[in-house]
Amino acid sequence: MTYKGRIVFAAALTTLGLGLTACNDGEDSASAQDSPSPSASAPASSDPSSESPSADPGDEASAAPSGDVAAPGTKFKIGDRAILPFKYGTEKKGTIAVTVTAIEKGAEADMAPFGDKAKGMTPYYIRMKVENVGGTDLSYSSLRLRGKLEGGRPTGVILIGDLPGKCDNETAPRDFSTKGASYETCSLSATKTDPIAVASFEEGDGYSGSPVLWTS
Q: Confidence class of residue 213 from pLDDT cuts 50, 70 and 90?
A: very high
Is the confidence at residue 132, as pLDDT, over 50?
Answer: yes
- Give mean pLDDT, residues 151-166: 88
Is the confidence at residue 174, as pLDDT, over 70?
Answer: yes
Instruction: Write down the pLDDT at residue 158.
Output: 82
Give one word for 209, left, alpha or beta, with left for phi > 0 and alpha for psi -120 to 50: alpha
More confident residue, 168 or 62: 168
Q: Confidence class of residue 173 from pLDDT cuts 50, 70 and 90?
A: very high
d(CA 92, CA 143): 12
- Give mean pLDDT, residues 28-54: 38
